[in-house]
Each structure stands twice: as structure tokens, then as C-alpha cells.
């Protein structure tokens, strides 16, 4: 029942430090199961999806020690559990990574159908295709997915669809299989590469991550390591858009500029200035926002997770933009909220035509999912006046200390806890 209250119209100015990547963290935490030893994982973002992953590990029997806010020691040596508690697995999408990791170490796993953002159908047939090629059997019963396979054997897997999740589960399940596994038509996202690097630090033999073909030579044992997670590409992109959309000037620190190139290219086309430094980017805008075309695609294309944020900025461009969503069926749910703010957006299937309006107006808003929620935060920062955003738990799944970071950039944003007692007295 918490909400954000944002007084918009202020250009963001200053510096912001980017946290570790959510989508790498939620893959690397389950991967510590394979190490069967102590792992120290650094640069973990303090977000609720990481909390849920840690709770799952603990429920399965891992020993977990907090070393500092973003560093945990995880010891899976004496872990025995193979069934992920339902209530936890339903809280986030990435709980499916426990299937690959548990299958690899214990030969069996059970996970409830994962939760996460509602972006349309989110099948896992390609994950199961990889498990089955390695010799595991699967069954889905009353919302529970079970996989079993004592002696996994390396295989050739051609993914019918480029899938981040299936590529990651393919690697997790193959690292200790007998012989070599070749995964083809793989996702190339930075977090896929980060997981491969982590697995290799733990003694695995994974080659080719970041290309279409990943080769995994099975090893008999893996061990613990100390590993620092890469910076979050989408969190960085979100602050880049927020800087450009508010006509601000922000130095975004602790990033890998190469990972941001697809976002940088579109921001520059839309009229922002982006200066790339060693491990930072500086984003500013003084001129008009120009209309552009965006087509979301797997990496290195323009990331779908940035689509709602860019659309918000384009809603005040000087002309007509088109945004085509190429990954998810249902990723324009934030458009109704933007319409309340005066935006002029027509959605037809997977294409949104955005007719730029002079400005957005403040409104009461509701976050329907993580990135839609972040996009509404940017919209509220752009609008002159006070907007309120409900259902912010979606946003807090993926953005560490968003209120503090935005406040440091001069934003007027408050997180308001609704008091249920006061609410019922008022009714």
C-alpha cells in the first residue's frame, strides 16, 4: 500500500551510481548451488528480487551471511532441498533458474510456475527442451514444474526462439553433464555473459557466451569463488532517459558504456547528448526531443525493457514516433496511464504510434509492471505538478534505492506509506 508522490518539472542534475544487474544477480544466485562451496557475491543490488532469491537459497538449506549491503557469502555445501517453496517461487520470474541449477547438482528439482511481470504469455518450452536434450524428464502438475534426470549427458540444443532464460537454464543444466553440450541460437545479453564468467570462476568450462553458440564441456566438480556482478544496463538506461526526458544533465557512474550502446544510439537520435567515459556516461539535453523509430529486439538490438521508458520521452517529441515491440505481446499496458497525462498514443497490436504533445500533465498513476512503473516515474518527473504512483512494489523489485538516487539528482519524490488504520477511519 505504498506509493510515490512526485512533484515534477525539475530537470535532473548531478551524479548517480548504478547498482549491480538484477537479471545477472537472479541467475548467479541460483548458480551458487552448483559450486557446492562458499561463494562471495559482490555488487548484488538491494532489491526485492534478490531478497526472494536469497530466501529461496536459505529455504533449500544454504548458509547465508551478509558481509555488507551489497555483498553476501553463500555456502551451499550442506544444502539438500530440491523443492522451491511455492510462495517464494511465485514472487518472481527468475525462480525458474532453480530448475536448471538443482537439476544439475541433485538430479531433480521442483518449482511452482514462476511469477514476475505480466507481459503476455511467458512459456518455458525452450528451457524444457534443453533439459530434455540432456536426458531429463519433466512434468507439469497443478502449477508445479518437476524435472528429473540423474545422469545428464551433453547434447546439441538448437533453441527455436532466442531466449535469455532458456540460454541461462541451458548453461546451468549442462555445466556438470557428461561430455560437451552445444547451445545454438543463444541470447547474447550482458547478463548471459556474466553468468558464464561466474560459472567459469567456479571451475566450469563455458565458451562462447555473448555469441549465438555456447559450448559447455561438463566438469565433475565445481567450487566456490568471489565474484562481482556487472552494473545494471537497464537501471543505467532508465537514468539516461530520465536525464534526457527532463532536459537535465546527469553523470551516470559505474556502468559499462559498451552495454549501453543500443540505448545511447537512440537517445542521440532523439536529441540527447551522450558522452561516453571509461566507466560512466554523461547524458544531457538542451534542444527539442526529436521523433524516432524504435524496434525492440534481443541484444544487441534495442532492449524491450527500455521500451516503456523511451516511449514516455517520445510522448513529448516534436513529431510522430513509432515503437514496435518485438519480444513481448503485452508491453503497452502503461499507455492508458500516459493517456491520463495527456499523451497521444495509438496502439495497434505490437506497434505504438506516438504523436508528440507539448507536455505531460500530472495524474494519479498505477504501475502495472516493473519497467512500466519506472517509465511512469519518468513521466511524473517530466510533468509540472504532483503525480502519485500506486503499486510501487513492482518498481522496487528492480530499482535499488530509487527515491534516494532521484532525490540526489534534485527530484522532488517521496515514498509514502499508507496507514491502513487511518484509511479505514477515513472511509
CB 240 within 8 A of CB 260: yes
CA distance 345 to 311: 9
Segment interacting with ligand EPU (CB under 6 A) among 29-37, 161-169, 332-340, 384-392: 161-169
Query: What does the block give as the cell for 180?
Result: 560437451
Shortest gap between Cβ of 321 and ligand EPU (angstroms)?
21
Whole-angstrom distance, CA of residue 303 vs CA of residue 266: 11
**Chain residue at closest Cβ approach to ligand EPU:** 165
Q: Which residue has 549501453 as its cell numbers?
A: 260
C-alpha cell at 390: 500506486
Among 246, 264, 304, 368, which residue sits at the site for ligand EPU (rule: CB under 6 A)? 304
Site string (66-95) toward ligand EPU, x via CB under 6 A: ---------------------------xx-
What is the rounded CA–CA span in Å between residue 106 and residue 6?
A: 48
> What is the C-alpha separation between 95 and 45, in angstroms, rounded?
17
305 binds ligand EPU (CB under 6 A): yes
Q: Return the residues of window 336-395 that contact ligand EPU according to CB under 6 A.
A: 370-371
Binding status of residue 163 toward ligand EPU by CB under 6 A: yes
If one asks whether residue 222 binds ligand EPU (CB under 6 A), the answer comes out as no
| Residue carrying C-alpha cell 522532488 | 412
Catalytic residues: 117
Distances 15 to 72, 248, 354 between C-alpha atoms, Å = 26, 11, 30
H or E element, residue 145 = strand 144-148
**Cβ closer to ligand EPU: 175 or 367?**
367
Q: What is the dihedral of CA 209, 214, 218, 221, to 10 degrees?
A: 10
Q: Are 244 and 313 in contact (CB under 8 A)?
A: yes
Q: Does 117 bind ligand EPU (CB under 6 A)?
A: yes
The C-alpha atoms of residue 104 and residue 171 are separated, in whole angstroms, by 10
111, 124, 255, 411: residue in contact with ligand EPU (rule CB under 6 A): 124
- 214 contacts ligand EPU (rule: CB under 6 A): no
Q: Please, are residues 39 and 32 in contact by the beta-carbon 8 Å criterion?
A: yes
Q: How far is the CB of 118 from ligand EPU (least distance, A)?
A: 10
Q: Contacting ligand EPU (CB under 6 A), which of 19, 53, 70, 126? A: 126
CA dihedral 355, 359, 362, 364 (to 10 degrees): 10
Complex with ligand EPU: residue 33 or 289, whichever CB lies closer = 33
Binding mask 35-64 for ligand EPU (x = CB under 6 A): ------------------------------
Among 90, 127, 333, 394, binds ligand EPU (CB under 6 A): 127
Decide: is 241 part of the binding site for ligand EPU (CB under 6 A).
Answer: no
| 164 lines the binding site for ligand EPU (CB under 6 A) | yes
In the set 123, 143, 179, 364, which binds ligand EPU (CB under 6 A)?
Answer: 123
**Quick check: 186 binds ligand EPU (CB under 6 A)?**
no
Buried b or exposed e, range 48-63, using 16+ CB within 10 angstroms: bbbebbbebbeebebe
The verdict on 188 binding ligand EPU (CB under 6 A) reads no
Instruction: Establish how many alpha carbons lie within 13 A of residue 418's alpha carbon, considering only the half-sphere containing its beta carbon.
Output: 15
The site for ligand EPU (CB under 6 A) is made up of 23, 26, 93-94, 117, 121-127, 161, 163-166, 187, 304-305, 327-328, 370-371, 398
Amino acid at each position: 500500500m505504498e506509493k510515490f508522490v512526485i512533484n515534477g518539472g525539475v530537470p535532473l542534475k548531478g551524479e548517480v551510481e548504478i547498482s549491480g544487474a538484477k537479471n545477472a544477480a537472479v541467475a548467479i544466485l541460483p548458480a551458487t548451488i552448483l559450486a557446492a562451496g562458499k561463494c562471495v557475491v559482490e555488487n548484488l543490488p538491494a532489491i526485492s528480487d534478490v531478497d526472494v532469491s536469497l530466501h529461496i537459497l536459505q529455504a533449500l538449506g544454504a548458509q547465508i551471511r551478509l558481509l555488507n549491503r551489497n555483498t553476501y557469502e553463500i555456502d551451499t555445501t550442506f544444502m539438500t532441498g530440491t523443492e522451491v517453496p511455492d510462495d517464494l517461487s511465485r514472487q518472481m520470474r527468475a525462480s525458474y533458474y532453480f530448475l536448471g541449477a538443482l537439476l544439475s547438482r541433485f538430479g531433480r528439482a521442483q518449482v511452482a510456475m514462476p511469477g514476475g511481470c505480466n507481459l503476455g504469455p511467458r512459456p518455458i518450452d525452450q528451457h524444457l527442451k534443453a533439459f530434455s536434450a540432456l536426458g531429463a524428464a519433466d512434468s507439469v502438475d497443478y502449477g508445479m514444474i518437476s524435472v528429473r534426470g540423474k545422469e545428464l549427458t551433453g547434447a546439441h540444443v538448437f533453441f527455436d526462439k532466442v531466449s535469455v532464460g532458456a540460454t541461462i537454464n541451458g548453461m546451468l543444466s549442462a555445466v556438470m553433464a557428461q561430455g560437451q553440450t552445444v547451445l545454438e541460437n543463444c541470447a547474447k545479453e550482458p547478463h548471459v555473459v556474466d553468468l558464464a564468467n561466474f560459472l567459469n570462476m567456479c571451475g566450469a568450462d563455458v565458451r562462447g557466451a555473448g555469441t549465438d553458440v555456447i559450448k559447455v564441456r561438463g566438469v565433475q566438480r565445481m567450487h566456490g569463488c568471489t565474484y562481482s556482478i556487472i552494473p545494471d544496463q537497464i537501471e543505467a538506461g532508465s537514468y539516461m532517459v530520465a536525464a534526457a526526458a527532463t532536459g537535465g544533465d546527469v553523470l551516470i557512474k559505474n556502468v559499462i558504456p559498451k552495454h549501453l550502446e543500443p540505448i545511447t544510439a537512440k537517445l542521440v537520435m532523439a536529441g540527447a547528448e551522450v558522452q561516453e567515459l571509461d566507466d560512466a556516461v554523461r547524458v544531457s539535453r538542451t534542444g527539442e526531443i526529436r521523433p524516432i523509430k524504435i524496434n525492440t529486439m534481443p541484444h544487441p538490438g534495442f532492449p524491450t525493457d527500455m521500451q516503456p521508458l523511451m516511449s514516455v520521452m517520445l510522448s513529448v517529441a516534436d513529431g510522430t514516433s513509432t515503437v514496435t515491440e518485438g519480444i513481448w505481446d503485452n508491453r503497452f499496458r502503461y499507455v492508458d496511464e500516459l493517456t491520463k497525462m495527456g499523451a497521444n498514443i495509438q496502439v495497434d497490436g505490437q506497434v505504438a504510434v506516438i504523436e508528440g504533445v507539448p507536455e505531460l500533465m500530472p495524474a494519479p498513476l498505477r504501475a502495472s509492471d516493473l519497467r512500466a512503473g519506472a517509465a511512469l516515474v519518468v513521466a511524473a518527473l517530466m510533468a509540472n505538478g504532483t503525480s502519485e504512483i500506486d503499486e510501487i512494489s513492482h518498481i522496487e523489485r528492480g530499482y535499488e534505492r530509487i527515491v534516494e538516487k532521484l532525490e540526489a539528482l534534485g527530484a522532488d519524490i517521496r515514498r509514502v506509506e499508507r496507514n491502513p488504520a487511518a484509511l479505514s477511519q477515513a472511509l
